[in-house]
Structure 1
């Protein structure tokens, strides 16, 4: 499955490097490169793409401002020399961010994740807007999730992490990943409290599955979940009620 991508960066050398990297990955097709956010905005009004490589620091209009202005955001990987922009990226449902200078190994890691996600989206059936994509059963121990032309029954106790991807939700359950149309707000209302906790605009965690907490990161198995400032106080109060020190 071919994935159409766009590179947006005001630096010529950066565009050349990313173009070279894209050319090494068979699934990717480079549709265009843009030297400014304004140029990219004009292009995106005419043609839809699957994957956007977006620089943040650009003259006149930043990459973040461009992303906020797009009504239909493509899957986006930020490219930046400033690690602090990662938080803003999570708030805008950015899939990953690459810190300059970008190695091909790190680029390949981000693209592999993007390819997996985009391929999942393309095979999911579109649900009517009036239809609720997620429903609970009468015992409130499970959720039923529509995905890949099936309705999957998932026990609350099997859910590790729930992650938002724009209009989609990705549910991690052990090694299984299930993607469905849905909104995090509705999902949060459906799940039992305090068993499930919102820790970020894009993440809900099963409190019983947490292995460790360090700074702004929650560890569940081999997954690292960001803990944002807006949810930190409520989360730490819950942690405080269950600790021995």
Structure 2
């Protein structure tokens, strides 16, 4: 039986709430070790000079020196996973040969997928089998599932089981929950990518609904509490199949 090796991780992000999310995720995975946190690229350079790092979670848009420019300065960089709220940087990230690109707010399952992409099962550098092989841990995560949305200049936690529906409003998205409404500057497509397909369904180019919150539906409408949400023609077959 192979001994599990520790993957030493460095989190680089100028926003404390964003670092907190990745820190918690790293601490929840047995094979990952949080070697350090940095608020900017200068601190990150110092951390890399002081210790060996296997994997960097690197924000792109930071003051003084952005993540992509910083990465270009490194001669032999560790593996890098970009974390950013700006999807337009994805192409540049892949051109720099980063492992993956995580769009904020980062989901735990998407985080795990990126880590296992960096260190595949059976990898000689690190064995991450235990990352996804603990059913009890997975069930615990499901029961505590949440996402973070940027609103009012901070990252706000929203429990998935509280979400009723999500509505696109041009450059913004409205998340309607049992506790109230939150508005964030984000595309509905990027929000859809954050959510579980088992819990949510896209019904229209402007709407995503929580499946368990549906009270009734027809071929054209879904009712959640007192709100009627349209089912677009392009989404109808998928919605009906999901609800059948």
**TM-score, normalised to structure 1's length?**
0.48
